[in-house]
Structure 1
Amino acid sequence: MTTQHDTILLIGHGSRESEGNDEIHRFVAQWRTRQPGWNIEVCFIEFAPPSLHDGLLQAAAGSARVLVLPLILNAAGHVKMEIPEAIEHARAHCPGTEFLYGPHLTACDPILAVLRRNLRQCMATLDMPDPTTTGVVLLGRGASDRQANGDVAKMARWLMEETDHELVDLAFTGITWPRLERVVQRQVQLGMKQVVVLPYYLFTGTLMQRIARQVEHLRQQYPQVRFAQASYFGFEKEIFALLEQRVADLRAGVQDSRLPCDGCKYRELAHDLGHGHSHAHTHAPAPATDAVVHLHQHDHGHSHAPAHDEHHPHSHGVLTA
């Protein structure tokens, strides 16, 4: 199959803030400039059109093959259940089109390079850029999926391994813990004179706005501590390169063997609730063997657990401004 028959469908999360969705459209425009021979489209999981289902059907129109790429850092319920189920729906309605699902961006060295660069830039703004007295907080979105949260923890550890900072912690803006205020409190108690907050986010939105307010509140709460906050990093060259590698891998038939299913407490619950998403994501009738083809992070929904919020009794006075 020639690549001219491919449509590359980029899936963004979507934001209640139109600015965040506009940024994803600008990202797609820049990617089209980088790859003028590619047919690149975009859709959103929520909050913005076209929807995931509409985007898949539109991409399939006139395309022999659709390469589905989540523009998402960590694999939680959206990546593991919603997108695969939407792909199965699209396959049923577009039997003449092949759908291939690539992995999300994941915790990896290119993302680490972006975080290290953001950290260096923040350190350059501080009066005393001493890593031994500067705490770092990697601030992620938070999920009910332990493996998604574990990817953030992995990146925090990698930052410690690759820098001279003695204290690199992780925090989350919602759903899970610890939260930013509590982590900063601990770092101050440990003697940190400066704190760098590194948002683990691709684009702007309501949560990035909340982070800015929280950091400003922390500046007032700890006037003796200097704070620096990095920005999100969706437009970095490493993000484009990662997606281009995903496209190359899918076209070459490279399989993703990472299957974050071990210990998945939602596996049976998802099926009990009527979600028929199967374990095999092949693009032809299943062969009479035990082989299962996985071209993406394996799916199991984690969206059915009650969502924790900032008013949970274990939130320890989390800022909700």
Structure 2
Amino acid sequence: MSARSAYLLVAHGSRDPRSQAALHQLGHQVKQALQSRGDQSPWVKTATLEFGSVPLKQQICHWGQQLTHIDQLVILPLFLLPGTHVRVDIPDVVTTVRQFLPQSLEIEVRSHLGSHPNLCQILRATMADTDVDRWILLSHGSRYPGGNQPVETLAQQLDAAPAYWSVSPSLRQTVTQMAAQPGLKVGVKPYFLFTGSIIDTISQEVDQLKCDFKHINLTFSSPLEPSAPLVHLIQELITA
């Protein structure tokens, strides 16, 4: 008999209600996808590391004690980079809560969302219809050693220049380098999951860059957002 699993999607968290709504929408879509493949009543929840009404540790303890009919709790970090949250914070939470949960309940943390190799295809599809000469792949960035290497690799696959919001090279530094070619059409692709306050701030920065570099054409794209292809990737990660 196969193990009965419950699924918890853990995001960073935001005070912005748009990000919160997008996370809930994504969880609902994942649940629907599991139902469509034959799971009649899948247990799918979403939670956040930060800005949640209840700390993540308490949420997992509460749910874990209720999952008497479940053998395994699968946790998927909805993070694009393997930074501190993925490598330290979530594992620490799991280590802490294990002592409060039934020994019969296995907890497994799967590879973070950004580790899926087909994420590149989703990004490429969202960029295909935009008329630009060069792309900038803008990630939040991580100070964790090696945390930004996946962005470098992904940018190379997309023939884009990597840039970061919190570390160097910044968006402005990267645009400044490209501005040496007058008339260049540059697209900025935010490598973020959801629309929110950071995306608003980046959009304002792009508007300022348009004013500062009038001799090039800047286009600001959208973050990933919930979509059928993204749901499919998540389904593959949690059911593998």
Normalised by the length of structure 1, the TM-score is: 0.68
SS at match of 1:99: strand
- Equivalent residue for 1:113, pick from 121, 124, 127: 121
Taking a change above 3 Å as real, the CA distance of residues 221 and 107 of structure 1, as seen in their structure-2 partners, is farther
Question: Where do 1:117-128 residues align within 5 Å?
Answer: 117-123=125-131
Question: Which whole-Å CA distance do the structure 2 matches of 1:108 and 1:159 have between them?
Answer: 15
Could you tell me how far 1:136 is from its partner in structure 2?
Answer: 1.3
Cα deviation, 1:158-211, whole Å, max 9, x if unaligned, reads: 112xxxxxxx2111111x101101100100114561110011011112211111
Q: Deviations over 1:256-310 (max 9, x none)?
A: xxxxxxxxxxxxxxxxxxxxxxxxxxxxxxxxxxxxxxxxxxxxxxxxxxxxxxx
Aligned twin of 1:9: 8
Match of 1:170 among 162, 169, 176: 162
What SS is found at the alignment partner of 1:66? strand
Letter of the structure 2 residue corresponding to residue 26 of structure 1: Q
| 2:214 matched residue in structure 1 | 223
User: Which structure has more strand as a fraction of its residues?
Assistant: 2
1:75 is aligned with what amino acid?
P
Aligned length: 231
Partner of 2:173: 182
Contact 2:179 2:215 in 1 (8 A): no
More deviation, 239-248/95-104? 239-248
In the other structure, the counterpart of 2:101 is 94
Query: Gaps spanning 5+ residues in structure 2: where?
Result: none
What secondary structure does 2:99 align onto?
A: helix
Question: Structure 1 vs Structure 2: percent identity of aligned residues?
Answer: 22
C-alpha distance in structure 2 between counterparts of 1:137 and 1:205, whole Å: 20
Q: TM-score, normalised by structure 2?
A: 0.90
Q: Compute the displacement of 1:121 (Å).
A: 2.3
For 2:152, the equivalent position in structure 1 comes to 153
Q: Partners in 2 of 1:107 and 1:67 — Cα distance? A: 16
What pairs up with 1:1-321 in 2 under 5 angstroms? 2-3=2-3, 5-36=4-35, 37=39, 38-60=42-64, 61-62=66-67, 63-96=70-103, 97-123=105-131, 129=132, 134-160=133-159, 168-174=160-166, 176-191=167-182, 193-249=184-240
Go from structure 1 to structure 2 and tell me whether the alpha carbon gap of 1:64 and 1:50 turns closer, same or farther (over 3 Å shift): farther
Question: Which amino acid is the alignment partner of residue 200 of structure 1?
Answer: Y
The letter for the 1-side match of 2:91 is P
Mapped contact 1:44–1:50 kept (Cα < 8 A) = no
State the secondary structure of the residue aligned to 1:186.
helix
Give the alignment's Cα RMSD to 1 decimal: 1.7
Q: How far 1:105 moved relative to its partner?
A: 1.5
